[in-house]
């Protein structure tokens, strides 16, 4: 039974269960998404763009014959790589920023890897946007024209596996970046060894217990149902782009810098986004640019939209991880050494964020009390689709090895892994045991029935003749707290108080379905509770438009749920000060002698002298009161809380099928801003976590390099029928800086699910599967290996016993002989 959340501090609006602020708008179909904003009825003369996609994994265009395509009825123009306005575009990438901040071309996050050309002449994966873009009166005409383009290809060898790509003589994918496909040093992570604390080798050599293990994370895709879409209208005075980018200021910056337009001549607009799950973090997409050039050429608005197949555009960054860990016999971990090899696919984008940036943060917020730690990694180009951002980036990948280490080491030491984790892990500003981690793990153990259900691996009762059950867990440090968001720079919010005490809230942030807009309205209501303002008295704008002028706060790191509310708390203080100055004459007292509560201003020394703020404002000049605040996130280092997933599974040893029976998802939030939304994030995140663990995987034809399952039938996302019981648990143990001291949870809810399930599988059947997805084939293979090892051990034991028996017989015979010897 799900127990409702109980807040640490009771507040009027924050931390409550209630419908979303936009619930009626969405349920009634009135919420406007990119497809709604880009209807032809809104844009007279609208044209449709389509881009040519490579059928080959690695090849260069020698020449294009566009004559038949140009002649197709309805085709208006074709843009090609040889056109001067295309050839003049700078080299770029799709990872200028991870969405946290807005950056220029010169300051792009991964400037080392400018590996993309807009409509370039070289294809690096099957599906790469190369050569030409067609614009026509209809999508059908544009698609048919693409089929008529004749390409003379120079075909190159290709490589799909990162280990093969690193071998001498392997096809070189981006010679302008690297000659061996291994990424060069980057400005954020530096060299391959990017964390090196203490003396790992000496500590491992001196350890009383050591383990080594390996885990593999595959390439899943985001599965966003709201495909990339934009409309660009380039008029002489202004270029306007409507899109479902959730980083509106960054879209404007990208278009401005790539097309050499001043910012005041570029306008970007976004409304609702139907889920993006990290897809929008690679928002600096070439299609914005060729769509803009086509609009400029034709003098008409142009729409570009991915098809469902084309939405398989990038994926989670897959990697192979290994670990060596040393500990004392009492369970104290003394050394941890992690290595990874990441398959970047065709373009770098945010690969190194996953491989370096996220694990580097984990060192100080989880591994601070381990004296010797080393991380090293290699990012490698291959000819697969680009591996980039997805919800839980880097953290999900690392957790699959981290959670394995804890489970395996605990088994080797004969300890409960819950106790091993509590003993060793926490952030550097907290002594051990970390209160947040201890509460999260003990609560999770109680909720899943850890003490009753956990047993020796593979030793549980056999159910229905072939099935066994097991439990497992994994945990992780949360992200992000406010101090980890300082890269954003100033967060901007404006509050306009009307004379009737209704409120216009401008907290620009594109709503992606996670409820952060509701958090903002709740935060505004909480900050203005002295006015008696209710939730329904606040109007929040669903459209983010750079023409308004405030910088948007992008929905990444799950931080919008509290960052803008922290600024509202500061803005409310200033608003109150302005109000006191306005009402002071009416009450015949100085502003410093007054206060406001419950919508009434009163003299503090004589509370009976009071008046309604609303009535006083309506009797005045009727000018709205505007407060605009810009505030940088607080840099006070408070560490972070922890979260965990506990899983119970049932494994059929005859078929290899794994069924998740229950998932308990626990998050220490610092402060829960919106209980309904937070629990929805916890539950919804398990669709991604479960899918990646058991069914989701992009499959390639290794002979041709062609991806085989870019569709929602063969790429198997869990349905409601596949989902187990999910119990969300919200906690408030840790507290960060600021009024609320909250921490994001949305990204982390997916992170621990794969390893929790894999550890539960091991507990059930006594055979480890450490590569996802854990398909029936892998389960059966692990069981076969376990049986083979058991037979070999039994044979060895028999042989040893036989040898020992023979030796004993010989010894007895020798002894008897010595007794009768002369």
Say how far apart CA 775 and CA 771 lie, in whole Å. Answer: 9
What are 77's strand-pairing partners?
A: 135
- Let me know if 686 is exposed, middle or buried by CB neighbors in 10 A (0-12, 13-18, 19+): buried
The pLDDT score that the predictor gives to residue 225 is 84
Q: Following DSSP, what letter does each residue of 751-798 receive, concatenated?
A: TTHHHHHHHHHHHHHS----BSS--HHHHHHHHHHHHHHHHHHHHHHH
The pLDDT score that the predictor gives to residue 219 is 86
Asked if residue 450 lies in contact with residue 646, where contact means CB atoms within 8 angstroms, the answer is yes
The pLDDT score that the predictor gives to residue 729 is 98
- Let me know if 88 is exposed, middle or buried by CB neighbors in 10 A (0-12, 13-18, 19+): exposed
603-627 pLDDT, tens digit each: 999 999 999 999 999 999 999 999 9
306-359 pLDDT, tens digit each: 999 999 988 999 999 999 999 999 999 999 999 999 999 999 999 999 999 889
532-562 pLDDT, tens digit each: 999 999 999 999 999 988 999 998 877 888 9
The pLDDT score that the predictor gives to residue 1 is 58
3-state SS assignment for residue 551:
coil
CATH of the domain spanning 490-631: 3.30.365.10
Task: Check pLDDT > 90 for residue 644.
Answer: yes
The pLDDT score that the predictor gives to residue 16 is 95
78-102 pLDDT, tens digit each: 999 999 999 999 999 998 998 888 9
718-751 pLDDT, tens digit each: 999 999 999 999 999 999 999 999 999 988 899 9
By DSSP bridging, strand 372-381 and strand 333-345 are parallel
162-180 pLDDT, tens digit each: 999 999 999 999 999 999 9
Cα–Cα nearest to 131, from 187, 210, 50, 200: 50
Say how far apart CA 653 and CA 393 lie, in whole Å. Answer: 33
Q: Angle, nearest 10°, between helix axes 776-820 and 753-765?
A: 40
Mean pLDDT of 381-405: 94
The pLDDT score that the predictor gives to residue 100 is 86
The pLDDT score that the predictor gives to residue 815 is 56
Query: Cα Rg for the chain, rounded, in angstroms?
Result: 30
3-state SS assignment for residue 380:
strand
The label of the residue with tokens 């910088």 reads 551
When the pLDDT of each residue in the chain is averaged and rounded to a whole number, the result is: 94
Cα–Cα nearest to 741, from 565, 601, 578: 565
Asked if residue 688 lies in contact with residue 694, where contact means CB atoms within 8 angstroms, the answer is no
Say how far apart CA 149 and CA 68 lie, in whole Å. Answer: 7
Asked if residue 359 lies in contact with residue 394, where contact means CB atoms within 8 angstroms, the answer is yes
Say how far apart CA 533 and CA 537 lie, in whole Å. Answer: 6
Task: Check pLDDT > 90 for residue 800.
Answer: no
Per-domain residue ranges of the chain: 490-631
Say how far apart CA 603 and CA 611 lie, in whole Å. Answer: 10
* CA distances (Å), origin 476, targets 421, 667, 815: 10, 10, 64
The pLDDT score that the predictor gives to residue 389 is 87
Task: Check pLDDT > 60 for residue 821.
Answer: no
Say how far apart CA 535 and CA 563 lie, in whole Å. Answer: 19
Mean pLDDT of 770-798: 94
Task: Check pLDDT > 60 for residue 820.
Answer: no
Say how far apart CA 545 and CA 9 lie, in whole Å. Answer: 36
Non-local (6+) Cβ contacts of 295 within 8 A are: 47, 232, 233, 234, 239, 301, 302
Q: Following DSSP, what letter does each residue of 625-672 receive, concatenated?
A: EEEEEEEPPP-------EEEEEEEEEEETTT--EEEEEEEEEEE-SS-
Q: How many CB atoms lie within 10 A of CB 590?
A: 12
Asked if residue 135 lies in contact with residue 49, where contact means CB atoms within 8 angstroms, the answer is yes
- The phi, psi pair for 519, rounded to 5°, reads -60, -40
The pLDDT score that the predictor gives to residue 187 is 75
The pLDDT score that the predictor gives to residue 816 is 54
The pLDDT score that the predictor gives to residue 811 is 65
Q: Following DSSP, what letter does each residue of 239-307 receive, concatenated?
A: EEEEE--S-HHHHHHHHHHHTT--GGGEEEEE---S--TTGGGG---HHHHHHHHHHHHHTS-EEEE--
Say how far apart CA 332 and CA 334 lie, in whole Å. Answer: 6
- The phi, psi pair for 453, rounded to 5°, reads -95, -25
Say how far apart CA 335 and CA 319 lie, in whole Å. Answer: 22
67-81 pLDDT, tens digit each: 999 999 999 999 999
| pLDDT above 70 coverage of the chain, percent | 97
Locate 512 and state its tokens.
Answer: 């992606």
Q: Following DSSP, what letter does each residue of 188-211 receive, concatenated?
A: TTBSSEEEEES-HHHHHHH-SEEE
Mean pLDDT of 182-191: 82
Mean pLDDT of 511-520: 92
């Amino acid at each position: 039974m799900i127990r409702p959340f109980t807040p640490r501090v009771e507040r009027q609006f924050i931390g409550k269960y209630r419908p979303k602020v936009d619930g009626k708008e969405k349920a009634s179909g009135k919420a406007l998404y990119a497809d709604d904003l880009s209807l032809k009825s809104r844009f007279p003369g609208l044209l449709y763009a389509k881009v040519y996609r490579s059928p080959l994994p690695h090849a260069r265009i020698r020449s294009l014959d566009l004559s038949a395509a140009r002649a197709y009825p309805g085709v208006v123009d074709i843009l090609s790589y040889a056109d001067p306005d295309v050839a003049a575009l700078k080299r770029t990438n799709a990872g200028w920023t991870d969405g946290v901040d807005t950056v220029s071309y010169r300051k792009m996050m991964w400037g080392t890897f400018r590996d993309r050309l807009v409509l370039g002449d070289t294809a690096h994966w099957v599906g790469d946007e190369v050569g030409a873009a067609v614009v026509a009166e209809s999508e059908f005409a544009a698609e048919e024209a693409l089929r008529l383009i004749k390409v003379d290809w120079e075909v190159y060898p290709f490589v799909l596996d990162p280990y093969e790509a690193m071998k001498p003589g392997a096809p070189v994918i981006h010679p302008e970046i690297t000659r061996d496909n291994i990424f060069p040093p980057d400005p954020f992570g530096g060299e391959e060894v990017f964390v090196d604390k203490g003396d790992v080798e000496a500590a491992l050599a001196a350890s009383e217990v050591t383990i080594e293990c390996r885990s593999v994370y595959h390439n899943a895709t985001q599965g966003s149902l709201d495909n990339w879409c934009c409309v660009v209208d380039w008029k002489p005075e202004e270029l306007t782009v409507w899109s479902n980018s959730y980083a509106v200021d960054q879209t404007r910056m990208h278009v401005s810098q790539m097309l050499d337009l001043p910012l005041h001549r570029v306008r970007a607009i976004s409304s609702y986004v139907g889920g993006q799950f990290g897809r929008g973090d690679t928002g600096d997409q070439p299609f914005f640019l060729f769509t803009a050039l086509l609009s400029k050429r034709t003098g008409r608005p142009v729409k570009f939209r991915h098809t469902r197949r084309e939405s398989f555009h990038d994926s989670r960054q897959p990697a192979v991880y290994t670990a060596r860990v040393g500990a004392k016999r009492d369970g104290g971990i003394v050394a941890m050494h992690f290595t990874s090899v990441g398959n970047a696919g065709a373009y770098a984008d945010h690969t190194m964020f996953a491989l370096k940036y996220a694990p580097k943060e984990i060192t100080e917020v989880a591994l601070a009390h381990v004296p010797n730690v080393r991380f090293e990694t290699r990012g490698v180009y291959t000819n697969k689709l680009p591996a980039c951002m997805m919800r839980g980036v880097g953290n999900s990948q690392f957790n699959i090895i981290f959670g394995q280490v804890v489970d395996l080491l605990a088994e080797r030491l004969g300890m409960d892994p819950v106790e091993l984790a509590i003993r060793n892990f926490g952030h550097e500003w907290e002594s051990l045991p970390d209160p947040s981690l201890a509460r999260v793990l003990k609560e999770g153990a109680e909720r899943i029935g850890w003490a009753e259900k956990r047993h020796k691996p593979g030793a549980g009762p056999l159910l229905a003749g072939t099935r066994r059950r097991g439990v497992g867990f994994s945990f992780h440090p949360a992200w992000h707290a406010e101090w980890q968001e300082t890269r954003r720079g100033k967060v901007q919010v404006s509050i306009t108080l009307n004379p009737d005490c209704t409120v216009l809230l401008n907290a620009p942030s594109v709503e992606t379905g996670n409820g952060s807009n509701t958090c903002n309205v709740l935060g505004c209501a909480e900050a203005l509770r002295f006015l008696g303002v209710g939730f329904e008295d606040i109007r929040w704008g669903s459209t983010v438009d750079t023409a308004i002028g405030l910088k948007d706060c992008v929905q990444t790191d799950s931080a919008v749920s509290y960052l803008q509310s922290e600024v509202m708390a500061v803005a409310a203080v200033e608003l109150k000060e302005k109000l006191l100055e306005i009402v002071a004459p009416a009450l015949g007292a100085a502003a410093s002698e007054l206060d406001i509560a419950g919508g009434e201003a009163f003299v503090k020394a004589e509370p009976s002298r009071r008046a309604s703020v609303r009535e006083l404002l309506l009797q005045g000049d009727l000018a709205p009161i505007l407060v605009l605040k810009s505030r940088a996130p607080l840099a006070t280092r408070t560490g972070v809380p922890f979260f965990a997933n506990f899983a119970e599974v049932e494994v059929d040893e005859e078929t290899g099928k794994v069924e998740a029976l229950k998932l308990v998802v626990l998050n220490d939030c610092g402060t829960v801003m919106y209980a309904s939304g937070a629990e929805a994030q916890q539950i919804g995140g398990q669709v991604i976590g479960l899918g990646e663990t058991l069914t989701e995987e992009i499959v390639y034809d290794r002979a041709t390099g062609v991806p085989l399952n870019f569709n929602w039938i063969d790429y198997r996302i869990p349905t409601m029928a596949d989902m187990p019981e999910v119990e969300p648990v919200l906690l408030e143990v840790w507290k960060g800086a600021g009024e609320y001291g909250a921490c994001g949870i949305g990204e982390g809810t997916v992170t621990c699910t794969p390893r929790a399930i894999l550890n539960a599988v091991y507990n059930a059947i006594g055979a480890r599967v450490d590569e996802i997805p854990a398909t029936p084939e892998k389960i059966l293979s692990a069981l076969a290996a376990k049986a083979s090892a058991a037979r070999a051990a039994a044979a060895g034991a028999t042989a040893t016993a036989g040898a020992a028996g023979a030796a004993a017989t010989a010894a007895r015979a020798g002894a008897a002989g010595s007794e009768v010897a002369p």
